[in-house]
Amino acid sequence: MAIELPALPYPRNALEPHLSAATLDEHHGSHHRGHVEATNRLLEGSGLEGVALEEIVRRARGRLADEAAQAWSHGFYWTCLSPCGGGDPAGPLAERLARQYGDFIRFREEFTRQALGLSGSGWVWLVQRPDGTPGIVATRGGGTPLTGTDTPLLACDVWEHAYYLDRQNARADYLEAFWKVVDWQAVGARLR
């Protein structure tokens, strides 16, 4: 059974003006699709055919692990965003972020700092540690928290392809736009 490219959970122009339809077309229709197709090619004969994508990310090695991770991370990223997103989180997530970072603003500053500090391509994640506390993790290239013990709650793709059509190489501007479309309800629902 092949891995499928999940449809965007909103129309391609739904995140405008923060993320343009052109960026979503390219990012979902070309980059995300490319990782799904490469995963399917590499799955043949791997012994992991028919295994769920998350499980492939955990169990595969080498190129398949990398492509599967990118396929999974992109699907996850789209579900972290919403045209009704932005603002501040509420409920238990807000409480845990405040306990860990002082307040939401300081959490956002620290996440942004790590996103801007990651040299080259990668991802920045809000995760839940095994002890329940929130943490911020930056992974290079296609790395994901799935291969460790943390539970991913939120992903920010900081590969240049996530923003160059809208903002050239201005990653800081992209981060500002990103915060305006984060779906805190979806992120908070992932707490265990």
Torsion angle (degrees, nearest 10) of CA 37, 42, 47, 48: -40
Give the distance, in angstroms, between the CA of residue 10 and the centroid of all CA atoms in the same chain. Answer: 16
For residue 67, state whether it binds Mn ion (rule: CB under 5 A). no
Which member of 72, 78, 159, 184 binds Mn ion (CB under 5 A)? 159
> Pattern of binders to Mn ion over 21-40, x per CB under 5 A?
----------x---------
Give how many residues touch Mn ion by CB under 5 A: 3
Tokens of 18: 């923060």
Residue nearest to Mn ion (CB): 157
Closer CB to Mn ion, 67 or 157, in the complex = 157
Could you tell me if 88 and 94 are in contact, meaning their C-beta atoms sit under 8 angstroms apart?
yes
> Rounded to the nearest 10 degrees, what angle do helices 104-117 and 171-179 cross at?
150
Which member of 66, 67, 157, 183 binds Mn ion (CB under 5 A)? 157
Q: Which residues bind Mn ion (CB under 5 A)?
A: 31, 157, 159
